[in-house]
Amino acid sequence: MTQAFLPPQITTEAGSGPDTVAQPRKVFVKTYGCQMNVYDSERMSDALTRDGYQAVDSVEAADLILINTCHIREKAAEKVYSQLGRLAKLKSQRNAAGGDLMVAVAGCVAQAEGQEIIRRAPVVDVVIGPQTYHRLPDALARARQGESVVETEFPAEDKFDNLPAAPEKAIRTRGVAAFLTVQEGCDKFCTFCVVPYTRGAEVSRPVGRIIEEAERLSGAGVREITLLGQNVNAWHGKGADGREWGLGELVRRLATIDGIDRIRYTTSHPRDMDDALIAAHRDLPELMPYLHLPVQSGSDRILKAMNRRHTAAEYIRLVERIRAARPDIALSGDFIVGFPGETDEDFEDTMRLIREVKYAAAYTFKYSIRPGTPGADMDNQVDEAVKSERLLQLQELISQQTRAFGKECVGKTVELLLEKPGRNTGQIVGRSPWLQPVIVDAKLGEIGDIVTVRITQPGTTSLFAEPVE
């Protein structure tokens, strides 16, 4: 859900493609949006690697620029168009000098805008929506013949099962924690949100494919997997025992895979948190005690207008049940302030809910109109200044809670998964069960090790810890 620019998550596997020539084509991937886009970019990079491409980390070095876009923010499409305007200049310079630069737009803006992208930005050779990434190599081949390609149908076949598996070498370079998409799309239609339109209806990946991918990840040294889905806990599928499984049963099965020591999942909808999943939190040490469970608002009136299909009290009861099953679980949330019709009292209800639940972290947003969603047509839009004021208050409360959570961790003995070298030599950074980065002495272990430490000190963005004697 990080809305900020995410660095390209791509790897190089030179010489692996079937039609690799002396000079492999070079691709630069730029990823915006949620973790699912990060995952998708990795899978597209893998597919392109197999097609003879090599990943590069600059626009200048690239023969293909692939922008994986997000549509969740206001003016998302306009920002893509201005970026494409800059690329148009680059492309005409390069191609005038005999180059052959291609530009492809993927992701949720591609899905939402479709053909319009080529019309407004003829610099673009390929527009490809999130459900058709398995057709990317073919789309590029057609574009190379001079065709402008737009692939935004929601196809009958499953994109995941038509995408080649990630090469082991690529997985290894990505580290010891990996994403694994198990579900995509959304049928919930919250009245503020574009996701059901850009990602399509809910689709669950079959159990066998998920296990296969988890085993491949584990074989390549991955120790923590984060299961992804727009509504990940709506995942369901036919289990090995012939019964219909929900996410709880799936997690239980994945926890038996050798080498997979930690499991997380995101993002959940409160309506889909069932007993089996809560029981998995109670029973499985592999299932990390951290849950992103967006509520959006604490006012029943607003929740209704948002079509969230739960009340504030139901949400709080759910949190109580989850905490009864796993007392040390930390929660994070998403909040929108200034949804159409939100009054001071409604906003106060949200603040009250936050005080009651106590979050470890949260993403906070001012409501902003997404054309095509029901919220866009509501005539009781809230003043921008009011939204800004409420956002500040809410963020202040969340920061207090985040700091309090960090302080509570001091003195605790926890397990860290060591993930990467620290910024300073002699340090290594691990991840706590609650997703906090924790800095420790590099002598403690190697990347991929799980070590036991005691938290000694909270920092601004990370914690410090020492080995347990």
* Span from 155-163, 190-198, 236-244, 320-328 in contact with ligand SF4 (CB under 6 A): 190-198
Considering only the stretches 15-23, 195-203, 337-345, 452-460, report the one whose residues sit in contact with ligand F3S under the rule CB under 6 A: 195-203
Q: How far is the CB of 68 from ligand F3S (least distance, A)?
A: 8
What is the C-alpha separation between 260 and 257, in angstroms, rounded?
6
Question: Which residues, at least 6 apart from 381, have a Cβ–Cβ distance to it below 8 Å?
Answer: 340, 369
Q: Which of 10, 29, 36, 103 binds ligand F3S (CB under 6 A)?
A: 36
* Amino acid of residue 148: S
Rule CB under 6 A: which of 250-279 touch ligand SF4?
269
By the rule CB under 6 A, 309 interacts with ligand SAH:
no
Q: Is 267 in the site for ligand F3S (CB under 6 A)?
A: no
- Select from 294, 298, 430, 445 the one that contacts ligand SAH (CB under 6 A): 294
The interface region with ligand SAH, picked from 38-46, 88-96, 361-369, 410-418 by CB under 6 A, is 361-369
Cβ proximity to ligand SAH, 1 vs 257, nearer residue: 1
* 17 versus 200: smaller Cβ distance to ligand SF4: 200
Compute how many residues bind ligand SAH; rule: CB under 6 A.
17
Mark 374-393 with x for binding to ligand SAH (rule: CB under 6 A) and - for no binding.
Answer: --------------------
Q: Which residues between 60 and 99 bind ligand SAH (CB under 6 A)?
A: 72
Closer to ligand SAH by Cβ: residue 140 or 354: 354
In terms of C-beta distances under 8 Å and separation of at least 24 residues, what long-range contacts does 351-357 make, across chains too? 351/298, 351/393, 351/394, 351/397, 352/298, 353/295, 353/298, 353/312, 353/315, 353/316, 354/298, 354/394, 354/397, 354/398, 354/401, 355/397, 356/316, 357/295, 357/316, 357/319, 357/331, 357/333
Question: Exposed, middle or buried, 89 (CB in 10 Å: 0-12/13-18/19+)?
Answer: exposed
Q: Do 47 and 164 meet the contact criterion of CB atoms below 8 Å apart?
A: yes
Reduced to 3 states (helix: H, G, I; strand: E, B; else coil), residue 293 is coil
Q: What are phi and psi of 59, to 5 degrees?
A: -60, -40
How many Å apart are CA 435 and CA 288, to the nearest integer?
A: 9
Q: Within a 10 A sphere around the Cβ of 218, how many other Cβ atoms?
A: 19
Cβ atoms within 10 Å, residue 176 = 24
Q: Which of ligand SAH, ligand SF4, ligand F3S, none is residue 297 near (CB under 5 to 8 Å by kind)?
A: none
- Residue 119 φ/ψ, nearest 5 degrees: -65, -45
Query: Which helix (H) or strand (E) covers residue 28, if one does?
Result: strand 25-31
- Stretch of 46-54, 68-76, 79-87, 220-228 contacting ligand F3S, by CB under 6 A: 68-76
| Among positions 136, 143, 193, 391, the unique one binding ligand SF4 when judged by CB under 6 A | 193
Give dist(CA 39, CA 35) in Å, integer. Answer: 6
Q: Which is nearer to ligand SF4, 149 or 186 (CB)?
A: 186
Peptide linkage before 31 cis (omega within 30 of 0):
no
Nearer CB in complex with ligand SF4: 269/292: 269
Is 43 a binding residue for ligand F3S by CB under 6 A? The answer is no
CA distance 438 to 60: 36
Q: 75 or 403, CB closer to ligand SAH? A: 75
User: Is 273 in contact with 313 (CB distance < 8 Å)?
Assistant: no
Total number of residues that touch ligand F3S (CB under 6 A): 14
**Contacting range for ligand SAH; rule: CB under 6 A; set: 122-130, 187-195, 204-212, 244-252:** 187-195
417 binds ligand SF4 (CB under 6 A): no
Partner from ligand SAH, ligand F3S, ligand SF4, none binding residue 196, C-beta < 5-8 Å depending on class: ligand SF4
Residue 212: CA count within 13 A, CB half-sphere: 10
Q: Which residues bind ligand SF4 (CB under 6 A)?
A: 186, 188-190, 193, 195-196, 230-231, 269
